[in-house]
Amino acid sequence: MTIRERRYVPWDGRWTRPWVRWLVLPRYGLRAAFRSRLFASLYTMGFAAPLLGLLVIYVDARADQLGQIGAVLAGFEIDRRTFRLFLEVQSRIAFVVGLIVGPAMVADELAAGALPLVLARPIGRWGYIAGKLATPALLLSGLTWIPGLALVLFKTSLSGSAWLLANLRIPAALFAASWCWIALICLLALASTAVAGSKSWGRGLFFALFVAPAAAGRAAATIAGLDGALAVDLSATVGTLYQWLFGDPVTTGLSPAVAVLAVLAWCGAAALVIDRRIRPVRIVR
Amino acid sequence: MESDAAVLLDGLSVRLGRRPVLDGVTARFGGRAIGLLGPNGAGKTTLINTLLGFVRPTSGSARVFGHDVRRRPSAVRALCGYMPETDAIVPGLTGVRFVCLMGELAGLPARDALVRAHDVLHFVGLGEARYRNVETYSTGMRQLVKLAQALVAGPRLLILDEPTAGLDPRHRAEFLRLVRELLEVDHVTVLISSHLLRDVEEVCDQVLILRDGRVAAFRDVAAERRAAAGSYDLELRGPEDEFVRRLAAAGVSLERAPRGRWRLEEGGPHTIPLLLETAVACGVQVRRLERRRDSLEEIFLQAMGEAP
């Protein structure tokens, strides 16, 4: 047993480098997230599609050696549409994960008034925000572009580098499209909580941001014929980006340029809200 | 750039929106324990927020151990441990994890932060409760765990904002004992903002009193205590003028003091018997004769312009 002297001793040991201190926050954030068994189970279920993808790619590559199964899969082709479908499935799971984890990152600290305490440390306000965004970003990366690129590598290992060279657009699209979605979810989740001030209200607001504008945008597009109104529909916007990035025909009724601008506008607005709200002191003017 | 003064304020002005909150505050905190006093809205918390870089000065400057708070806020924060007035605990963490997190954010390596967290929690007396979640702590324990997190990275300047607010007398005494113990360590300077004059009086050697964002008084109370060591305060009844005249003729001078009292500076061993003999001779009652101790309350009331 350690015997401790009840005496204060100043610290004269070594220090970590200032630019890595914010990384402490995602470490604690991930630990807190996986403390919930429900969340851990849900997150584990998010790997079902990547595992299925591995199986499909393997079976497809070995179709000639697999008898009847191979014959069934003979007409099936692993191409960019397959990877887009994979990313769309994973994006929906990522949304649920973001809904659970995103608002939980800062809600407790906001509600407890602990921001002055944390921001009095030498990490800086944007270091703190980056640390808080990093937790959902890491979790969502683990569901989207990381398994996506792993599938691309697996396919390459089975089909040869010629397949990769012919389909270089797939890993690039997987990476870019995933990060569009991750950035949107992380920033909107943090901004929603910063506005709402609590976990439950933050989740409600975050969910509403994906539903209410979508309904309004679709209504405006259908009733008034304003296709541009779909830009406020985040699913349509991101769907457009996915189709465009993977080189598929865009069927959402929204131009890729408008979709890019819409995503940038949403992210910019969320960053602005975060900047306004995540402060050590609220100044009453 | 280090300086021997913990805090240097030079014409510091801060506006929040259009409202001036601090107006040309100049002071040099060279003591080991500085009390920050003032009524609500005087600018105490804004001064602390400015030192921590939360609020930018409009003009003038503030330096902490030589580091300008505007230009080098991170360097300043690295030297400070801050215990805010609000509850400010991060729920869902045990006491030791909470303090460890704060240590790591301050720049301690993870393993060292954990060891330090255990050490400072033992120091503040929360050793037994360190594995309990912080949201289950009582008010007194919350104040102590906030002190622990402020200490974990070994700050040069410990900023305590209303540290004993809500504490019962036993916990308050215990808290002040810890602060006094900290002051025995050469490394630490303590800045206490408090409404409780007794807390500041018990611990501090310098006092900055703010009023409407300006310096109402900046006193070295430790030096004043030393200077006043041989002085007495008297309360008399009867023909006071005659008594004072006779004493003056005997070479002992009394001066008027607040609250209708008289003050005897530098009372020697023969002065008191002489004073009592003169009082008997003049028919003056000496209702009170005590060593002078300018209470902080008097200093505060004088600074507020409300001295009796």
pLDDT at res. B11: 95
B149 and B177 co-located in one domain = yes
Rounded-to-10 torsion of CA A217, A222, A228, A230 = 40
B31 and B149 co-located in one domain = yes
Q: Which of A196-205, B174-183, B254-263 has the lowest mean pLDDT?
A: B254-263
B172 and B241 co-located in one domain = no
Distance CA B280, CA B263 (A): 19
- Indicate the pLDDT class of residue B267, thresholds 50, 70 and 90: low
Residues of chain A in contact with residue B109, where contact means CB-CB under 8 angstroms, are 13-16
Question: Greater confidence, A82 or B230?
Answer: A82
- Indicate the pLDDT class of residue A70, thresholds 50, 70 and 90: low
B184 and B274 co-located in one domain = no
Q: Does residue B149 fall inside a structural domain?
A: yes
Tokens at residue B190, please? 């303590």
B262 and B199 co-located in one domain = no
- Indicate the pLDDT class of residue B50, thresholds 50, 70 and 90: very high
Mean pLDDT for the stretch of residues B197-204: 88
In this predicted model, what pLDDT tens digit does every residue of B111-133 receive, in sequence order?
Answer: 999 999 999 999 999 989 999 99
Task: Count up the domains in chain B and report the number.
Answer: 2
Q: Does residue A207 fall inside a structural domain?
A: yes
Contact A117 B88 (CB under 8 A): yes
B208 and B239 co-located in one domain = no
Could you tell me the residue range of the domain that residue B192 belongs to?
7-90+143-221
B259 and B183 co-located in one domain = no
B216 and B255 co-located in one domain = no
- Whether the CB-CB separation of B271 and B231 falls below 8 Å is answered with no
Q: Does residue A19 fall inside a structural domain?
A: no
Q: Does residue B97 fall inside a structural domain?
A: no
Tokens at residue A271, please? 């960053």
In this predicted model, what pLDDT tens digit does every residue of B3-20 receive, in sequence order?
Answer: 678 999 999 999 988 889
Q: What are phi and psi of B61, to 5 degrees?
A: -145, 160
Q: Does residue B76 fall inside a structural domain?
A: yes
pLDDT at res. B248: 87
B165 and B236 co-located in one domain = no
Distance CA B173, CA B76 (A): 30
Residues of chain A in contact with residue B154, where contact means CB-CB under 8 angstroms, are 9-12
pLDDT at A25 over 80: yes
Distance CA B188, CA B194 (A): 19
**A20 vs chain B: nearest CA distance in angstroms?**
9
B174 and B264 co-located in one domain = no
Q: Does residue A253 fall inside a structural domain?
A: yes
For chain B, positions 245-304, list CB contacts with chain A under 8 A.
Answer: none
Residues of chain B in contact with residue A114, where contact means CB-CB under 8 angstroms, are 87-90
Mean pLDDT for the stretch of residues A9-21: 92
Contact B122 A6 (CB under 8 A): yes
DSSP count for chain A of H helices, then E strands: 14, 0
- Indicate the pLDDT class of residue B92, thresholds 50, 70 and 90: confident
Q: Does residue B43 fall inside a structural domain?
A: yes
B187 and B242 co-located in one domain = no
Contact A11 B17 (CB under 8 A): no
Q: Does residue B99 fall inside a structural domain?
A: no
- Indicate the pLDDT class of residue B2, thresholds 50, 70 and 90: low
pLDDT at A178 over 70: yes
pLDDT at res. B5: 87
Q: Does residue B117 fall inside a structural domain?
A: no
Contact B90 A114 (CB under 8 A): yes
pLDDT at res. B219: 87
Residues of chain B in contact with residue A30, where contact means CB-CB under 8 angstroms, are none
Q: Does residue B85 fall inside a structural domain?
A: yes
pLDDT at res. B221: 82
pLDDT at B73 over 60: yes
Q: What are phi and psi of A3, to 5 degrees?
A: -95, 125
Question: What CATH number has the domain bearing residue B157?
Answer: 3.40.50.300
- Indicate the pLDDT class of residue B262, thresholds 50, 70 and 90: confident
pLDDT at B253 over 90: no
Tokens at residue A176, please? 């870019």
Question: Closest to A285 (Cβ–Cβ): which among B17, B54, B101?
Answer: B17
**How many A×B Cβ pairs under 8 Å?**
127
**B75 vs chain A: nearest CA distance in angstroms?**
7
Q: Does residue B128 fall inside a structural domain?
A: no
Question: Closest to B187 (Cβ–Cβ): which among A10, A13, A21?
Answer: A10
Chain B interface mutation, best of A35, A117, A129, A199, highest count of B Cβ atoms under 10 Å: A117
- Whether the CB-CB separation of A29 and A103 falls below 8 Å is answered with no
pLDDT at res. A74: 64
Mean pLDDT for the stretch of residues B179-196: 90
Question: Closest to B89 (Cβ–Cβ): which among A15, A21, A114?
Answer: A114
Query: CB count, 10 Å around CB of B270?
Result: 9
Q: Which of A95-104, B73-82, B131-140, B269-278 has the lowest mean pLDDT?
A: B269-278
B86 and B26 co-located in one domain = yes
DSSP letters along B177-197, please? HHHHHHHTSTT-EEEEE-S-H
**B223 vs chain A: nearest CA distance in angstroms?**
27
Contact B90 A285 (CB under 8 A): no
DSSP letters along A113-126, please? T-HHHHHTSTT-HH
pLDDT at res. B185: 83
For chain B, positions 75-114, list CB contacts with chain A under 8 A.
Answer: 75, 77-78, 80, 82, 84, 86-92, 101-102, 104-110, 112
- Whether the CB-CB separation of B122 and A4 falls below 8 Å is answered with yes
Distance CA A85, CA A178 (A): 13
Contact B16 A284 (CB under 8 A): yes
Q: Does residue A256 fall inside a structural domain?
A: yes
Question: What CATH number has the domain bearing residue B285?
Answer: 3.30.70
pLDDT at A5 over 70: no
pLDDT at B208 over 70: yes
Last residue of some domain: B191, B221, B251?
Answer: B221
Taking the Cβ of residue B127 and every Cβ of chain A, the question of whether any pair is shorter than 8 Å is answered with yes
Mean pLDDT of chain B: 89
- Indicate the pLDDT class of residue B259, thresholds 50, 70 and 90: confident
pLDDT at res. B210: 93
Q: Does residue A96 fall inside a structural domain?
A: yes
Last residue of some domain: B170, B202, B221?
Answer: B221
Contact B104 A6 (CB under 8 A): no
In this predicted model, what pLDDT tens digit does every residue of A31-61 receive, in sequence order?
Answer: 999 999 999 999 999 999 999 999 989 888 8
Q: Which of A7-16, A133-142, B44-53, B107-116 has the lowest mean pLDDT?
A: A7-16
**A28 vs chain B: nearest CA distance in angstroms?**
8
- Indicate the pLDDT class of residue B261, thresholds 50, 70 and 90: confident
Beta partners for residue B214, in sequence order: B211
For chain B, positions 134-153, list CB contacts with chain A under 8 A.
Answer: 146, 149, 151, 153
Could you tell me the residue range of the domain that residue A211 belongs to?
78-277
Task: Count up the domains in chain A and report the number.
Answer: 1
In this predicted model, what pLDDT tens digit does every residue of A228-241 receive, in sequence order?
Answer: 777 888 988 999 99
- Closest chain A residue to B90 measured between Cα atoms? A109
ipTM, 2 dp: 0.87
- Indicate the pLDDT class of residue A243, thresholds 50, 70 and 90: very high
Q: Does residue A31 fall inside a structural domain?
A: no
pLDDT at res. A153: 96
